[in-house]
C-alpha cells in the first residue's frame, strides 16, 4: 500500500470539511453531492440510521427531537457550563444517568458530544476514502484557540471514536495563517478575524522565524451569520403579520422556508447590489420583497459592530496597535459580506487577505500541517507551531487562593515549575487541586483535576519541598506532576479532564458507532474488503512461486484460479458482502496450499483491522495527564 495519507479537518460549529495536500496545494475534498462543506448536523432517522450533513438538515424541522446541530458548543463541557447554551439552542440533554459527561437525547437513544462529532468525522472520512479509494486513519483536526483541555480532549476522543488517529490539534487561526503560507514570509504580527455561523473569534499571532505564536485571543461565542439570519427572519415575520395578517411565529415549516430564503438573499447580497425574497406561505399566500445592499448593511451594522470591542481587547492584550499588524486573514463564511471586510479594514487599517475561501481556509491550513507532519515539508524538523493557552493554570494553595503556575496567553508548548510545602507538623500528604481561570480564589476558578501526593515522610511543617510541574504539550493538553524532593516521592496519578470520557467509554463508543453507522459508511467496508482482497491475492501470487504449489493437483490449481478470478471480479464492484464472500471462498480454496506452505503463507493472509489512536497524551514518565490549574490542601 502507498504511504498513509494524513488529512486536515475543520470540525466547525456550523460546517465541517476535510482537505488534503495535492502536490504543493491544499485542496478541499468534496462530498458525494459535490459540495465542499458538510453541515455539522446529525440526525437519527426513524429506522435508527445516523445521517449527517445536508441529509440531516431536513430532519431538523421534521424530527427536531432526533436531530442536533452546533454540537461543538457542548464538547468537553459539563452541565453547569452549558446553561447559557441550553437557553439559546434546542439541545435535549439526558440528566438521568450518572457521570459528568453530557448526554444528548436523539429519539430514545443518548449520545455524548464526542460521539455526535465522531459521526461528522466519519462522514468526512467516508468522503475522503471514496475520493482516494483507500482507507484514511490519520488526521489533524483544528480547534478554536480558546478551547480548554477538556474541549481539546473531547475533540481527540471524537477522532478516536471515528477511527482516526489525531496526530495534532491545531488552533484554527494558526491553520488559517498556514493556509496563506504566512509562515514563509517575513516576521511580523498576523491578525485572524473569524466570523462564522455562530461564533466570532479574533486572534493575534506573532510570526518569528517561521514559527507562529498566538499572543492573544478574544471573541464572542454567540455572534455570527445566524444572528443576521434571525434578524432578517424577524423582519419578514413582522412584515407578514402586518401586510398579510398571518402569524407564522409558531409555524416551524414556514419559519424554515423563510430562513432558507433570507440566507439565499444574504449570500446573494455579498456579490450583488439587490436580492429578492420570494417565499410561498401556507394558504397559498406569498411573501415578496426586494432588499438592497445599503439597507442590508444598515440592518446588520449593530451585529457586526459587536466584533469591534473584542478585536480591540485582543490588541490590548497583545500590547499592539493596529499599525503593528502586518497581515490580516479573514476566516468564516460571514466574512464574505463586503461590509464586514470594510469594517475589518477600518479596524486594522490594512487590506485583509481574501484570496482563499474564508470558509475553507482553516481546513486548507490543517492539510498544510498534516503535510508537514507526514514529513512532506523540508521545514519539518524545525517547524514547531506555537499557540497560547487561553486561561491561566495553577493550583489551590493554603486558604483557598490560587497559585498561578502557567499564565494566560503563555506560548505553548509551555512548562513551569513552582515549589510548595506543607502547612502542618508531620503532614504526610498533600491534595493537589488543578485550576483554570483568572480569578484569585479557587472557588471562582474552574476545577480541572485533583490528585494526592502521598507518602511524604513526616517532617516539620514547611520543611518538605514539593515541586509541582505543569507542562502543556503541543496539543494544548496539560500534564501535571508533583514530587517531594527530599524523599523523592512522586504523585503517580493520571489526571483526566473533569468532563472527559474514560478509555472504556471511548472503546464502547467505537464499537457502537460501527454498529449503527454501517449503512451510512458502507464505503468503509468496501474499502477494507478491497484491501483485504489485495492482501490475499498478493499472498496467492507468492504461493504460486512456492515449491508447495507444485504439490497441488491440476484440479486444485484450476479451482484456485477460478476463485481468484471471482475475487477479482467482486473486488471491482462495490458490494462488500460479495467481496468478503469471495475472500472467504479463496481462503477456503487455498487452505491445502497454506498447509503445505506451513506458516509462511498463512501469516500474510491476514485481515485488515482498524487501528485506533493511543489515548496516552504525554510520553514522558513524569507527565501525568490532566488539564488546568491545581489547588493545594493541607492534611488535617
Ligand atoms: P463555522 O466556522 O461556524 O462552522 P462557516 O465559516 O462555514 O461556519 O460560516 C458559516 C456562516 O457563513 C453561515 O452563517 C453562512 O450563512 C455564512 N455565509 C456563507 N457564505 C456567505 C456569503 N457569501 N455571504 C454571507 N454569509 C455567508
Ligand atoms: Mg470556523
- Per-residue pLDDT tens for 33-68? 899 999 999 999 998 889 999 999 888 888 889 999
Looking at ligand 1, which residue's alpha carbon is closest to its atom 23? 267
- In the predicted structure, residue 109 carries a pLDDT above the cut 60: yes
Can you say whether the dihedral through the CA atoms of 222, 224, 226, 227 is positive or negative?
positive
pLDDT of the residue at 309: 96
- Which residue did the predictor score with more confidence, 600 or 254? 254
Whether residue 196 has its Cβ less than 6 Å from ligand 1: yes
CB 409 within 8 Å of CB 388: yes
Instruction: Please identify every residue annotated as catalytic.
Output: 10, 72, 172, 194
Residue 360 CA to ligand 1 center (angstroms) comes to 10
Q: Ligand 1 pocket test: pick from 14, 35, 70 the residue with the most ligand atoms within 8 Å of its Cβ.
A: 14
Kind plus residue range of the DSSP H or E element containing 263: helix 252-269
pLDDT exceeding 90 applies to what percent of the chain?
A: 46
Residue 225 CA to ligand 1 center (angstroms) comes to 6
Residue 268 CA to ligand 1 center (angstroms) comes to 12
- In the predicted structure, residue 459 carries a pLDDT above the cut 50: yes
Nearest-atom index, ligand 1, CA of 15? 4
535-586 pLDDT, tens digit per residue, is 788 888 888 888 889 889 999 999 999 999 999 999 988 888 899 899 989 9
- Cell digits of residue 131: 475520493
Map residue 600 onto helix, strand or coil.
Answer: helix
Domains by residue range for the chain, with CATH: 6-223+306-388 (3.30.420.40), 225-304 (3.90.640.10), 393-634 (2.60.34.10)
The protein residues having their C-beta less than 5 angstroms from ligand 2 (an ion) are: 12, 196
Q: Is the bond into 413 cis (omega within 30 degrees of 0)?
A: yes
- Cell digits of residue 81: 457550563
CA atoms of 478 and 500, how far apart (whole Å): 13
26 forms beta bridges with: 21
Looking at ligand 1, which residue's alpha carbon is closest to its atom 24? 267
Nearest-atom index, ligand 1, CA of 40? 4
- In the predicted structure, residue 517 carries a pLDDT above the cut 60: no
Nearest-atom index, ligand 1, CA of 263? 16
- In the predicted structure, residue 283 carries a pLDDT above the cut 60: yes
pLDDT of the residue at 557: 93
Q: Pick the most confident of 2-16, 170-184, 428-442, 617-631.
A: 170-184
Of 141-150, 290-299, 335-344, 419-428, the poorest mean pLDDT is in 419-428
pLDDT of the residue at 522: 63
- What residues contact residue 595 under an 8 Å CB cut-off, 6+ apart? none
CA atoms of 105 and 96, how far apart (whole Å): 11
- What residues contact residue 73 under an 8 Å CB cut-off, 6+ apart? 13, 82, 85, 89, 198, 221
pLDDT of the residue at 133: 84
Looking at ligand 1, which residue's alpha carbon is closest to its atom 8? 196
pLDDT exceeding 70 applies to what percent of the chain?
A: 84
Residue 304 CA to ligand 2 center (angstroms) comes to 17
The residue count of the chain comes to 636
- In the predicted structure, residue 629 carries a pLDDT above the cut 60: no
Q: Ligand 1 pocket test: pick from 220, 225, 330 the residue with the most ligand atoms within 8 Å of its Cβ.
A: 225
CA atoms of 415 and 352, how far apart (whole Å): 35
Of 140-144, 306-310, 439-443, 556-560, the poorest mean pLDDT is in 439-443
Whether residue 12 has its Cβ less than 6 Å from ligand 1: yes
CA atoms of 472 and 133, how far apart (whole Å): 37
Q: Pick the most confident of 160-169, 250-259, 300-309, 466-475.
A: 300-309
Whether residue 135 has its Cβ less than 6 Å from ligand 1: no
Residue 298 CA to ligand 1 center (angstroms) comes to 19
Identify the DSSP state of 384.
-
Residue 311 CA to ligand 2 center (angstroms) comes to 17
Residue 359 CA to ligand 1 center (angstroms) comes to 7
Q: Which ligand lies nearest the alpha carbon of 265?
A: 1
- What residues contact residue 49 under an 8 Å CB cut-off, 6+ apart? 516, 519, 520
By DSSP bridging, strand 478-484 and strand 466-472 are antiparallel
Q: Which ligand lies nearest the alpha carbon of 199?
A: 1
Burial of 581 (0-12, 13-18, 19+ CB in 10 A): middle
pLDDT of the residue at 323: 95
CA atoms of 529 and 104, how far apart (whole Å): 33
- In the predicted structure, residue 602 carries a pLDDT above the cut 80: no
Residue 210 CA to ligand 1 center (angstroms) comes to 30
pLDDT of the residue at 612: 25
Residue 635 — pLDDT band, cuts 50, 70, 90?
A: very low
For 505, phi then psi, to 5°, come to -60, -40
How much is the average pLDDT of 215-242?
A: 94
Looking at ligand 1, which residue's alpha carbon is closest to its atom 12? 333
How much is the average pLDDT of 388-400?
A: 77
Whether residue 198 has its Cβ less than 6 Å from ligand 1: yes
Kind plus residue range of the DSSP H or E element containing 430: strand 430-436
Q: Ligand 1 pocket test: pick from 28, 145, 176, 333 the residue with the most ligand atoms within 8 Å of its Cβ.
A: 333
Looking at ligand 1, which residue's alpha carbon is closest to its atom 13? 197
Q: Pick the most confident of 402-411, 551-560, 627-636.
A: 551-560
CB 211 within 8 Å of CB 243: no
Residue 604 — pLDDT band, cuts 50, 70, 90?
A: very low
278 forms beta bridges with: 288
Long-range contacts from 568-571, C-beta under 8 angstroms, 24+ separation: 568/537, 570/533, 571/529, 571/530, 571/533, 571/534
- In the predicted structure, residue 496 carries a pLDDT above the cut 70: no
**Average model confidence (pLDDT) across the chain:** 83
Kind plus residue range of the DSSP H or E element containing 315: helix 308-317
Q: Pick the most confident of 105-119, 407-421, 526-540, 586-600.
A: 105-119
Rg (C-alpha) for the chain, rounded Å, is 28
The rounded Cα 45 to chain-centroid distance in angstroms is 24
Looking at ligand 1, which residue's alpha carbon is closest to its atom 11? 197
- Which residue did the predictor score with more confidence, 612 or 40? 40
For 17, phi then psi, to 5°, come to -155, 165
Whether residue 227 has its Cβ less than 6 Å from ligand 1: no
Residue 219 — pLDDT band, cuts 50, 70, 90?
A: very high
- In the predicted structure, residue 499 carries a pLDDT above the cut 70: no
pLDDT of the residue at 382: 38
Whether residue 330 has its Cβ less than 6 Å from ligand 1: no
CB 192 within 8 Å of CB 202: yes
pLDDT of the residue at 383: 42
173: closest CA among 341, 12, 331? 331
Whether residue 266 has its Cβ less than 6 Å from ligand 1: yes
120-179 pLDDT, tens digit per residue, is 999 999 999 889 888 899 999 999 988 887 898 899 999 999 989 998 899 999 999 999
Nearest-atom index, ligand 1, CA of 72? 4
How much is the average pLDDT of 498-524?
A: 59
By DSSP bridging, strand 138-143 and strand 165-171 are parallel
Whether residue 39 has its Cβ less than 6 Å from ligand 1: no
pLDDT of the residue at 14: 96
Can you say whether the dihedral through the CA atoms of 458, 462, 464, 468 is positive or negative?
positive
Amino acid at each position: 500500500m502507498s504511504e498513509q495519507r494524513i488529512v486536515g479537518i475543520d470540525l466547525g460549529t456550523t460546517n465541517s470539511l476535510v482537505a488534503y495536500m495535492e502536490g504543493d496545494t491544499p485542496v478541499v475534498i468534496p462530498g458525494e453531492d459535490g459540495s465542499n462543506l458538510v453541515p455539522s448536523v446529525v440526525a437519527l432517522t426513524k429506522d435508527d440510521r445516523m445521517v449527517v450533513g445536508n441529509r440531516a438538515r431536513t430532519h431538523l424541522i421534521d424530527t427536531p427531537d432526533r436531530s442536533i446541530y452546533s454540537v461543538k458548543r457542548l464538547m468537553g463541557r459539563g452541565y453547569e457550563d452549558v446553561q447559557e447554551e441550553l437557553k439559546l439552542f434546542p439541545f435535549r440533554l439526558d440528566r438521568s444517568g450518572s457521570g459528568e459527561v453530557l448526554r444528548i437525547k436523539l429519539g430514545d437513544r443518548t449520545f455524548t458530544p464526542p460521539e455526535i462529532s465522531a459521526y461528522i468525522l466519519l462522514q468526512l472520512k467516508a468522503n475522503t476514502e471514496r475520493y482516494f479509494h483507500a482507507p484514511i486513519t490519520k488526521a489533524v483536526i483544528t480547534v478554536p484557540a480558546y478551547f480548554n483541555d477538556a474541549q481539546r480532549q473531547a475533540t481527540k476522543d471524537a477522532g478516536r471514536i471515528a477511527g482516526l488517529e489525531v496526530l495534532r490539534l491545531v488552533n484554527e487561526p494558526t491553520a488559517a495563517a498556514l493556509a496563506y503560507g504566512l509562515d514563509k514570509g517575513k516576521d511580523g504580527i498576523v491578525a485572524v478575524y473569524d466570523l462564522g455561523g455562530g461564533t466570532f473569534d479574533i486572534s493575534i499571532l506573532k510570526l518569528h522565524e517561521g514559527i507562529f505564536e498566538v499572543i492573544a485571543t478574544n471573541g464572542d461565542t454567540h455572534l455570527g451569520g445566524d444572528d443576521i439570519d434571525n434578524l432578517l427572519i424577524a423582519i419578514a415575520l413582522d412584515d407578514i403579520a402586518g401586510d398579510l395578517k398571518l402569524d407564522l411565529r409558531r409555524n416551524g415549516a414556514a419559519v424554515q422556508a423563510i430562513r432558507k430564503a433570507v440566507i439565499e438573499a444574504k449570500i446573494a447580497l455579498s456579490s450583488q447590489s439587490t436580492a429578492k425574497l420570494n417565499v410561498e406561505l401556507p394558504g397559498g399566500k406569498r411573501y415578496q420583497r426586494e432588499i438592497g445592499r445599503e439597507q442590508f448593511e444598515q440592518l446588520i451594522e449593530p451585529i457586526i459592530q459587536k466584533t469591534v470591542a473584542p478585536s480591540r481587547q485582543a490588541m490590548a492584550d497583545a500590547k499592539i496597535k493596529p499599525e503593528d499588524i502586518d497581515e490580516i486573514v479573514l476566516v468564516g463564511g460571514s466574512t464574505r459580506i463586503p461590509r464586514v471586510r470594510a469594517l475589518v479594514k477600518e479596524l486594522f487599517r490594512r487590506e485583509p487577505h481574501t484570496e482563499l475561501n474564508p470558509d475553507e481556509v482553516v481546513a486548507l491550513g490543517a492539510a498544510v500541517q498534516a503535510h508537514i507532519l507526514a514529513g512532506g515539508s523540508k521545514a519539518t524538523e524545525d517547524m514547531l507551531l506555537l499557540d497560547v493557552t487561553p486561561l491561566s493554570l495553577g493550583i489551590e494553595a493554603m486558604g483557598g487562593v490560587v497559585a498561578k503556575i502557567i499564565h494566560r496567553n503563555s506560548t505553548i508548548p509551555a512548562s513551569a515549575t513552582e515549589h510548595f510545602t506543607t502547612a502542618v507538623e508531620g503532614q504526610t500528604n498533600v491534595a493537589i487541586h488543578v485550576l483554570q481561570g483568572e480569578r484569585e480564589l479557587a472557588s471562582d476558578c474552574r476545577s480541572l483535576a485533583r490528585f494526592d501526593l502521598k507518602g511524604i515522610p513526616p517532617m516539620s511543617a514547611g520543611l518538605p519541598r514539593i515541586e509541582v510541574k505543569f507542562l502543556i504539550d503541543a496539543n494544548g493538553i496539560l500534564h501535571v506532576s508533583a514530587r517531594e524532593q527530599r524523599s523523592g516521592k512522586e504523585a503517580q496519578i493520571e489526571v483526566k479532564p473533569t468532563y472527559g470520557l474514560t478509555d472504556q467509554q471511548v472503546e464502547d463508543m467505537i464499537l457502537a458507532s460501527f454498529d449503527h453507522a454501517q449503512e451510512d459508511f458502507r464505503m468503509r467496508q468496501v474499502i477494507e474488503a478491497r484491501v483485504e482482497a489485495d492482501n490475499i491475492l498478493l499472498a496467492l501470487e507468492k504461493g504460486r512461486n512456492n515449491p508447495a504449489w507444485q504439490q497441488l493437483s491440476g484440479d486444485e490449481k484450476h479451482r484456485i484460479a477460478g476463485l481468484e478470478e471471482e475475487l477479482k471480479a467482486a473486488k471491482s464492484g462495490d458490494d462488500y458482502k460479495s467481496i468478503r464472500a469471495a475472500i472467504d471462498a479463496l481462503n477456503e480454496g487455498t487452505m491445502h496450499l497454506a498447509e503445505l506452505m506451513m506458516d509462511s503463507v498463512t501469516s500474510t493472509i491476514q485481515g485488515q483491522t482498524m487501528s485506533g489512536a493511543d489515548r496516552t497524551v504525554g510520553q514522558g514518565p513524569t507527565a501525568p495527564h490532566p488539564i488546568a490549574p491545581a489547588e493545594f490542601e493541607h492534611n488535617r
